[in-house]
Structure 1
């Protein structure tokens, strides 16, 4: 029996999925703790600004580290959102049609059609409002939770279990 879902990607859906991906990938507080650790590294060196001529290098390096830790995640996030927006333009408001079958997942849109075996998927992340089905480290398909029937959810979970695809709630 096949389970079909049609998903129209919107900017809001893509942003929501990207935020969910980053929060789970990096942890809720990893950016904050990384920035705090960098500040704690840099602050002891601040008094040396007025002291020795070579010691100004350490606080500068500390603040560069802080800057990178604070700026790096948002820059990556914005790049991913930009790539998603390019995909959205290519789809031009047309939905993606997912057909989940016993051996294959068929994905069809105005751009073409792909049939892939379940083994290509690496993991499934389940959030209260959407599911992310990964085929690679950071490539995922977005399945809004409200479009999935109870039978489809059970079927996808079963296929993931049978194909050793980790599911993370």
Structure 2
């Protein structure tokens, strides 16, 4: 299995978590937070998808579907188009109120775009430097693994919240 195939498989697993964590929930349920300082399912899934869209597109020199395919307008969030949720405060988290179908649709569009971007990447490409703002500089491989890791972390958080909500409903 090549590195690109491994990444596509990992992204498919993140996609499954996004679907399972949000499918069938109302916008109110998606926006619920376990306390005032925590994140909601809606924010977590939007953020992990924005990070995937932003970071993979930049690393592989492509456009983000958030902007090119009109997702920014469809979500209607009061954030700048380039906002990924990085550094959001609890008041920002509370503003992410959307339908599950919109979250899933955006994630699926980003997933398909990302798979098209990563399929031609060779194992040798992973050593290419993509960000010199860090010490040591960030390689393509490190950047892509970071995004997959964030997808699993935030996806797991969303799945946990979904489990709490499901238990509360009985």
Whether TM-score is above 0.5 comes out as no
Higher relative contact order at CA 8 Å, sep ≥6: structure 1 or structure 2?
A: 2
Q: Structure 2 length normalisation: TM-score? A: 0.28
Greater percentage in helix:
2
Specify the structure having the higher radius of gyration (Cα): 1
Q: Structure 1 length normalisation: TM-score? A: 0.28
Greater percentage in strand:
1
